[in-house]
Amino acid sequence: MRSRWSACNASSSSGWSRLACASSRSISTIWPSRYCASAAIQAEQHLDSAFAIRLLKALFLVKYIKEFKASPRNLCVLMLEGFDQDLPALRRRVEEALNLLEQQTYVQRQGELYVYLTDEEKDVEQEIKNTEVETADVAAELETLLFDQVIKQRKIRYDAGDAKAGGAGGAGGAGGAGGAGGQDYPFSRKLDDRLYGRDYELAIHIISPFHEQAGSEDILRMLSMGRSELLVLLPPDERLMRDLLMSKRTEKYIRQNLSATQQDSLKRILTDKARQNQERQAEIQQRLRDLLGKAKLIVNAADLEISSSDGQTRVIRGFHELASS
């Protein structure tokens, strides 16, 4: 039987192969015990997954190596046991182990990268996870991101002549001032059956993965019948939901604790958390753009065929269809 990377290829000059070899041994044998993180040692005692423990050791070893980006793909390289290994199966094992380690707060995900948490970082991360946030605050944040950062329109201009040339039909509905250049239509902003702001005759109604009927497309389509609204069904995305909740929890935790703490180490951790949360929020915006680009658009129970994959463009064109109906 071929050994792990041929007994870790002791004669190899590759630093990564030596890391892979080290990850198969106990944490306490890699560095003297006074340098060992107790979280990694506790994981050896409490985690049922031997593979997840090996992966955690690898993350422990590369934590302060800036050149190494701990993405699932790169971690697969570290966990590779042989050149004939089933790579798709290995990728699934790595992703499952990372999910477990993240759930148990041994690691933190930062975008596509995973970071081993020291004891103090682990305590802060667990406290953030335990921070309570109001569902209404999370929904309001999502509404702001969708309408202000992605759609970016308070009114949408619709010209019946342009629409007819493109096969959209004539104009209709309430709107702003008319003219040769068309009309500017204000619209109601709705998210998951809730109205945000003023109510207008026409509406854009986005159904997020948080909605209780998310995934029940036929029910939502039937509910749209007779309504003067563009229904936008976002695809399911569990990661978006987790990240949005963590974003609001982190924001609240930092606001409550940053000015109160006197410990330099804790201030550094909270400052890092604030920076990481800004990166998370930027990623959430991009994910929402991608989701809008894939969203199903419905007017009066009928699906709209919009060719563009750009989220903002799709919503604007879908609104034109609503205005012309």
31 alpha carbon, distance to own chain's centre: 35
CA-CA distance, 172 to 323, in Å (whole number)? 5
Q: What is the pLDDT of residue 323?
A: 92
- Any long-range contacts for 261-270 (C-beta under 8 Å, 24+ apart)? 265/120, 266/120, 266/124, 269/120, 269/121, 269/124, 270/124
And the tokens for 316? 């604007």
What element of type H or E holds 109?
A: strand 107-110
pTM value is 0.77
Placement of tokens 């991608």 in the chain: 290
Sorted by sequence, the CB contacts under 8 Å of residue 301 that are 6+ apart come out as 221, 222, 224, 225
Angle at 88 between CA 86 and CA 91, to 5 degrees: 110
Q: What is the pLDDT of residue 84?
A: 84
Q: What is the pLDDT of residue 259?
A: 81
Q: What is the pLDDT along the chain (325 residues), one digit of tens a residue?
A: 343 333 333 333 344 445 545 554 544 444 443 444 566 677 777 788 899 999 999 999 899 898 999 999 999 999 988 888 899 999 999 999 999 999 999 999 998 999 999 889 999 999 999 999 999 999 999 999 999 999 999 999 888 755 554 443 333 333 444 445 678 999 999 999 999 999 999 999 999 998 998 888 999 999 889 899 999 999 999 899 899 999 999 999 999 998 877 788 899 999 999 999 999 999 999 999 999 999 999 999 999 999 888 999 999 999 999 998 8
And the tokens for 134? 């109001």
